[in-house]
């Protein structure tokens, strides 16, 4: 019932139904399905595609995609699928890392973690089962405070080009954002980010003073040359799906490659 109501509350219902059919039947090339949003977890497809495209334009042979908040692992499996397809489009090898405690949510610290919506131990992981299903992802298990402090030295990842943030809490997200305090050499000059818990519904009531939105605001307030910004061309798209409003771009303004030209060579306008 709820799904049906939501479907008819959206504009261009026929287009949505066609997208679902094209996705489920695998009609056309992956590039075509990606372009029209007819892929599973299109927000993850966007992260992988955009990170690989930017890496290719910068001449980087490898790029890393990070997920904070693995839970059952469906997101990592989706990232693996998209990475396999995107590697056929761009000459870039894609590494995937998933950060999680494996034990589910810890107790919330205060109201900013929204205890009226989340409970401790939500989203536990079946670690052995997930490891069996993963083909290329690396699980980074433990408290994110500890795992982040050794991540770059221990794993020597390719430059990070995209990050999915789905740790739910304000406290966990603000900690995970310390990733971007590392030397800019570990990143592409622009990093594509997805924040899962920034829209919600009439129970969550996500707002600018709690949760992930507060973490984003405080990050920007405390960083002079590294900033998170909404991706406005996505949110301005006609009939933009909700995930368009959950994508941010992380800009390293003092990154040595930030000003490297990556656009089209011929931008001359006709009279």
Interval 102-113 mean pLDDT: 96
Half-sphere exposure of 3 (CA within 13 A, CB side): 2
Element (H, E) at 255: none
Alpha helix locations (H) across 59-208?
Answer: 74-86, 127-133, 144-155, 170-176
CA quadruple 127, 128, 134, 135: dihedral sign: positive
Greater confidence (78 vs 8) lies with 78
| Burial grade of 107 (CB within 10 A; 0-12, 13-18, 19 or more) | exposed
**What pLDDT, on the 0 to 100 scale, is given for residue 271?**
78
**What pLDDT, on the 0 to 100 scale, is given for residue 261?**
97
Closest CA to 196 of 31, 89, 44: 44
Token pair, residue 203, equals 């129970």
Distance in angstroms (rounded) separating the CA atoms of residues 108 and 118: 8
Closest CA to 102 of 136, 76, 63, 80: 76
**What pLDDT, on the 0 to 100 scale, is given for residue 26?**
82
**What pLDDT, on the 0 to 100 scale, is given for residue 2?**
58
User: How does the average pLDDT of the chain come out, rounded?
Assistant: 93
Closest CA to 83 of 65, 69, 58: 65
**What pLDDT, on the 0 to 100 scale, is given for residue 270?**
81
Pseudo-torsion of CA 151, 85, 189, 248, nearest 10°? -90
Distance in angstroms (rounded) separating the CA atoms of residues 176 and 165: 8
Distance in angstroms (rounded) separating the CA atoms of residues 147 and 194: 20
pLDDT at 124 over 70: yes
Residues of the chain with pLDDT > 70, as a percent, come to 95
Number of helices and strands in the chain (H, E): 10, 7
Token pair, residue 261, equals 């030209």
Residue 223 pLDDT grade (very low, low, confident, very high; cuts 50, 70, 90): very high
**What pLDDT, on the 0 to 100 scale, is given for residue 94?**
98
**What pLDDT, on the 0 to 100 scale, is given for residue 5?**
45
Distance in angstroms (rounded) separating the CA atoms of residues 57 and 89: 13
Interval 132-142 mean pLDDT: 97
CATH number for 41-252 (one of 3.40.640.10, 3.30.1130.10, 3.40.50.150, 3.30.300.30): it is: 3.40.50.150
Please tell me whether residue 49 adopts helix, strand or coil conformation.
helix
Interval 153-172 mean pLDDT: 98
For the chain, residues classed under CATH 3.40.50.150 are 41-252
Please tell me whether residue 259 adopts helix, strand or coil conformation.
coil
Residue 253 pLDDT grade (very low, low, confident, very high; cuts 50, 70, 90): very high
Integer-rounded Cα Rg, in Å, for the chain is 19
**What pLDDT, on the 0 to 100 scale, is given for residue 3?**
59
**What pLDDT, on the 0 to 100 scale, is given for residue 267?**
83
**What pLDDT, on the 0 to 100 scale, is given for residue 256?**
97
Element (H, E) at 197: none
**What pLDDT, on the 0 to 100 scale, is given for residue 153?**
97
């Amino acid at each position: 019932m709820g799904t049906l109501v939501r479907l008819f509350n959206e504009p261009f219902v026929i287009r949505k139904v066609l997208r679902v059919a094209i996705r489920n039947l695998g009609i056309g090339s992956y590039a075509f399905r990606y372009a029209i949003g007819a892929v599973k977890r299109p927000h993850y497809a966007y992260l992988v595609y955009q990170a690989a495209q930017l890496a290719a334009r910068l001449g980087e042979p490898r790029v890393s995609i990070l997920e904070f908040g693995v839970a059952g692992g469906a997101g990592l499996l989706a990232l693996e699928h998209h990475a396999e397809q995107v590697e056929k489009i761009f000459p870039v090898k894609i590494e995937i890392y998933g950060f999680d405690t494996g034990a589910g949510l810890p107790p919330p610290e205060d109201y900013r973690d929204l205890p009226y919506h989340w409970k401790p131990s939500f989203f536990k992981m079946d670690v052995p089962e997930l490891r069996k299903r993963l083909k290329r992802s690396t699980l980074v298990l433990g408290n994110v405070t500890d795992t982040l402090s050794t991540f770059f030295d221990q794993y020597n990842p390719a430059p990070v080009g995209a990050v999915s943030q789905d740790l739910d809490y304000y406290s966990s997200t603000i900690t995970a954002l310390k990733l971007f305090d590392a030397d800019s050499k570990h990143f592409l000059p622009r990093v594509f980010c997805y924040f899962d818990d920034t829209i919600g519904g009439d129970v969550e009531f996500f707002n600018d003073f709690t949760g992930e939105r507060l973490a984003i605001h405080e990050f920007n307030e405390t960083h002079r040359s590294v900033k998170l910004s909404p991706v406005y061309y996505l949110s301005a798209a006609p009939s933009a799906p909700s995930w368009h409003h959950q994508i941010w771009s992380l800009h390293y303004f003092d990154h040595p490659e930030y000003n490297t030209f990556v656009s089209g060579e011929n931008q001359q306008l006709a009279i």
